[in-house]
Structure 1
Amino acid sequence: MTLWLFIQPVDSLFFRGNLSFGEAGEHGTGTMPPQPSVMAGALRSAILGAHPEALHQFTREGRCQDPHLAQCLGTPQKPGTFRLRALHLARRRQGQYEPLHPLPADLVRLESGLYPLIPQSPDPGMILGPQPLPKTALLHCPRTEKPRGGGYLTPEGWRAHLRGEIPEASRHVVEDGALHRTDPRLGIGLDPRARTAREGLIYTTDGHALTPEGPDGTATGFLVGVDGADAFLEREGLLRLGGDGRAAGFGPVDFEPEAPPLEAIARNRRFRLILDTPGLFAGGHLPQAIQQQGDQHWLQGEGFSARLTCCAHGRPGIISGWDLQQWCPKPARRVVPAGAVYWFEDLQGDPEALAAWVADGLARDRACSEARRAEGYNQATLAA
């Protein structure tokens, strides 16, 4: 059973990107929404922070002696039952919680609206990638226009997109500025031994200020789904979130995620797979379960199979982080960005088995360690 939490920041938040910086005058870019590992680490730290003795044990030994905490948190290498299932920027309006989704890779926002990328057989002479698939995702719009970046799909727009419909920009897109704004901050490098400012080392970093709660109770925050930690997160509390450990309040909420359109998938025998969080895949940009057979790529799972015909995604990202228990940086890994879309045809077998494979984090791809899986990577949604 997934426990849903609404997390509302008290101050501006600082979520570091993975572009290195630190020299005098450099700028540290931020990300919004944050990586799922940031939220998972904040929640695990909040659980430990409520048990000071267990916190010291975990810091020294990498495990807790308390059997209930040990079952939930496990060790840094072998997590317990705790697992981040979902992370969304969200709004609370009239007592309801609305997850907001960045535009997936198969939707392009132009000045006149939203337009889809549709898989088509490539024309002769078209330049193909190193692993050509039978089809290429091409933009379909009536005229040439400049792309317009940003924006989040409302729950209604997301449901329409999952059904295979094209959302309307005027009704189904929320502007970034209505949810959060960039809050740049000036920083000064410090000498840890002398405890003084280092001469000439001034830099700026991106912070993000989420829209504060309005007089009608509308508020912006994060909607997070967590498994295996109900006993420790079922009450309201505070956590340290992002750089500088800025405060954020959290509490359990009633929420039911959108069910995948399995009837349409079973009827048409084709579907899309949309990454909700970055993907760590043994096959580079393809999940481990997709194997090349001759000139085709097949997804093979327990009780189902399907043929991959096309994919669309942005530039690969890099994730790393800091291991607080070992006090060292985590290995840098290349990931497929959230919002990547994979088109499949010729589905054979049980759509329910396909849905179970997706819910299990794409069947535990060997490139995604147990620790990264618990942090929420490789989460995806099925769409018609």
Structure 2
Amino acid sequence: MKSYLIESLAPLVFRSGKPFTSQASAQDVSFPLPSAGAGLVRYLSLSQSNNEQVLNLPKEDFEHSAYQAILNMQSRGPFLVRYSDETDIEILVPKPANALYFENKQTGEKSVVRLEPRTFEQEGELCGSDLPQRLLHVQMTEDLKGKPAKGVSFWALQDFVAWQKGEGLSFDSVNNNGLTSIPIELRTHVAIETDSRSSVDGMLFQTASYDLAHQKTQNGWDNKRLGFLVQTQESLKQDLATLGGERRLSYFKPINLEKNSSLPVELTQDDADKINSDKGFSLSFITPCIFAKGALPDWLDKTTLMGKLPNTKITVALKAMAIDRWQAVSGWDSLLWKPKATRRAIAAGSVYWFEMVEGQFDVQTLQQLSNHIWSDHQQDKNDGFGSAILSPWTAI
């Protein structure tokens, strides 16, 4: 896939579902969904190619093959990036759900504690829970006394990959390489009367937006700024684009990513051998994912929690899940011209652990699954819901 950088020229608005009469706050702005990036790619492809066949079709004829060809365009992202120029770009991904920031009660030292599937025993006897019988409990791998601490919400891609491969990371390195939050700007808007050019009483509203420009620090201006990355097979030219609400402009630029900081993460024969020997792997989502069975993919049996990996002959069993609260997915349907139905998605950062039951990985299968989009519905796959990183895990 080709990579494109979205460089904002103004703070970008990604509103929640609150009415405009509500007072805006930092909670009103939400990270753009994959469908927003997909819509931008399709719009630019259509406008740059000047496809008269589609442009002249009535909106009601959304079953037309020309419309379907647009909807079948695939994209990934948007992913958050931090960069100084187009040759120095680092990808930031949501914090993994199997990492806990922890503050030691005695020393006050902060650390990143790993959460992993384990059997839950107390004084030699199993404890009960309302989890399905075959699922393991996700627990801290260290017995520490203290409390959860605050840390960054976005991790550097290299740290994320290293963590899921089992490497230990210090709190300071994760904090220094990551990002606590995206700066947010609040704006107050007013309706202006045409004749008098004065404000209309009661016609005030506010918007919250992501300010991705260079930020001021104690030592001056930061030499790096934030942006978004989208990937698609479409060949697009540099252009001005509008991502998000209020038609705020951004530059849309083709870029070349360095091999060690690009997506999807490249997997090797060594990774395949380790998964085969350890009899397990984890799947860590870096975008929201929409499954047909709520938290379970359609290819898994709901009773046995077993199934064949998509497009393979490898049978696996789900052993554990670490997932945050479900994420609402909606939007505006530009074909039907009405709001889309709200659906529940697995939040980015969620981690699933699988045990190998039958079959083995080779490097080609592993690379295919590394490129796979894990949502069940084809249109959600096209939109990029369900990008994930696959890593070895020692099954229990």
TM-score computed with the length of structure 1 as normaliser: 0.82
Q: 1:137 maps to what in 2? A: 138
Deviation at 1:326, TM superposition (A): 1.9
Note if contact 2:38-2:76 (Cα within 8 Å) is conserved in structure 1: no
Q: Secondary structure of the residue that 1:85 maps to in structure 2?
A: strand
Deviation at 1:33, TM superposition (A): 3.2
Q: 2:80 maps to what in 1? A: 89
Deviation at 1:129, TM superposition (A): 3.6
The verdict on how the C-alpha distance between 1:245 and 1:166 changes in structure 2, with shifts beyond 3 A counting, is farther
Q: Secondary structure of the residue that 2:82 maps to in structure 1?
A: strand
Residue 159 of structure 2 corresponds to residue 157 of structure 1: yes
Residue 107 of structure 2 corresponds to residue 108 of structure 1: no
C-alpha distance in structure 1 between counterparts of 2:321 and 2:96, whole Å: 12
Residue 299 of structure 2 corresponds to residue 289 of structure 1: yes
Q: Secondary structure of the residue that 1:172 maps to in structure 2?
A: helix
C-alpha distance in structure 2 between counterparts of 1:280 and 1:297, whole Å: 17
- Residue 240 of structure 2 aligns with an amino acid whose one-letter code is L
Structure 2 unaligned residues grouped into runs of 5+: 104-109
Q: 1:225 maps to what in 2? A: 231
The verdict on how the C-alpha distance between 1:3 and 1:125 changes in structure 2, with shifts beyond 3 A counting, is same
Residue 298 of structure 2 corresponds to residue 298 of structure 1: no
Note if contact 1:303-1:353 (Cα within 8 Å) is conserved in structure 2: no
Q: What pairs with 1:185-224 in structure 2 (closer than 5 Å)?
A: 185-188=187-190, 200=202, 202-212=204-214, 218-224=224-230
Q: Secondary structure of the residue that 2:135 maps to in structure 1?
A: coil
Q: Secondary structure of the residue that 1:361 maps to in structure 2?
A: coil
The verdict on how the C-alpha distance between 1:154 and 1:357 changes in structure 2, with shifts beyond 3 A counting, is closer
- Residue 274 of structure 1 aligns with an amino acid whose one-letter code is S
Q: What pairs with 1:17-166 in structure 2 (closer than 5 Å)?
A: 17=16, 19-25=17-23, 29-51=27-49, 54=52, 56-57=55-56, 60=59, 70=66, 74=68, 79-80=71-72, 82-93=73-84, 95-111=87-103, 112-123=110-121, 126=127, 128-129=129-130, 131-141=132-142, 142-166=144-168
Deviation at 1:299, TM superposition (A): 3.1
* 1:299-358 Cα distance to aligned partner (Å, 9 max, x none): 323310112111010111111100122211111111111111111123532324365345
The verdict on how the C-alpha distance between 1:197 and 1:56 changes in structure 2, with shifts beyond 3 A counting, is farther
C-alpha distance in structure 2 between counterparts of 1:161 and 1:28, whole Å: 29
Note if contact 2:41-2:75 (Cα within 8 Å) is conserved in structure 1: no
Residue 244 of structure 2 corresponds to residue 242 of structure 1: yes
* 1:19-43 Cα distance to aligned partner (Å, 9 max, x none): 4333454658444531111111122
C-alpha distance in structure 2 between counterparts of 1:201 and 1:337, whole Å: 36
RMSD: 3.3
Residue 20 of structure 2 corresponds to residue 15 of structure 1: no
C-alpha distance in structure 1 between counterparts of 2:208 and 2:127, whole Å: 40
- Residue 259 of structure 1 aligns with an amino acid whose one-letter code is E
Match among 371, 384, 388 for residue 380 of structure 1: 388
The verdict on how the C-alpha distance between 1:97 and 1:62 changes in structure 2, with shifts beyond 3 A counting, is farther
C-alpha distance in structure 1 between counterparts of 2:302 and 2:22, whole Å: 48
- Higher Cα Rg, which structure: 2
- Residue 221 of structure 1 aligns with an amino acid whose one-letter code is G
C-alpha distance in structure 2 between counterparts of 1:338 and 1:371, whole Å: 18
- Residue 365 of structure 2 aligns with an amino acid whose one-letter code is A
C-alpha distance in structure 1 between counterparts of 2:231 and 2:5, whole Å: 9
Q: 1:176 maps to what in 2? A: 179
Q: Secondary structure of the residue that 2:317 maps to in structure 1?
A: strand
Note if contact 1:102-1:150 (Cα within 8 Å) is conserved in structure 2: no
Note if contact 2:11-2:211 (Cα within 8 Å) is conserved in structure 1: yes
TM-score computed with the length of structure 2 as normaliser: 0.79
C-alpha distance in structure 2 between counterparts of 1:188 and 1:62, whole Å: 38
Note if contact 1:317-1:335 (Cα within 8 Å) is conserved in structure 2: yes
Deviation at 1:268, TM superposition (A): 1.3
The verdict on how the C-alpha distance between 1:128 and 1:196 changes in structure 2, with shifts beyond 3 A counting, is farther
Q: Structure 1 vs Structure 2: percent identity of aligned residues? A: 23
* 1:272-302 Cα distance to aligned partner (Å, 9 max, x none): 0111211111121011111145xx4213233
Deviation at 1:62, TM superposition (A): 5.3
Q: 1:259 maps to what in 2? A: 266
Structure 1 stretch displaced more, 350-359 or 39-48: 350-359
Deviation at 1:149, TM superposition (A): 4.5
The verdict on how the C-alpha distance between 1:241 and 1:327 changes in structure 2, with shifts beyond 3 A counting, is same
Note if contact 1:289-1:300 (Cα within 8 Å) is conserved in structure 2: yes
Note if contact 1:189-1:198 (Cα within 8 Å) is conserved in structure 2: yes
C-alpha distance in structure 2 between counterparts of 1:219 and 1:20, whole Å: 29
Deviation at 1:210, TM superposition (A): 1.0
C-alpha distance in structure 1 between counterparts of 2:152 and 2:36, whole Å: 22
- Residue 5 of structure 1 aligns with an amino acid whose one-letter code is Y
Q: Secondary structure of the residue that 1:5 maps to in structure 2?
A: strand
- Residue 211 of structure 2 aligns with an amino acid whose one-letter code is A
Residue 372 of structure 2 corresponds to residue 360 of structure 1: yes
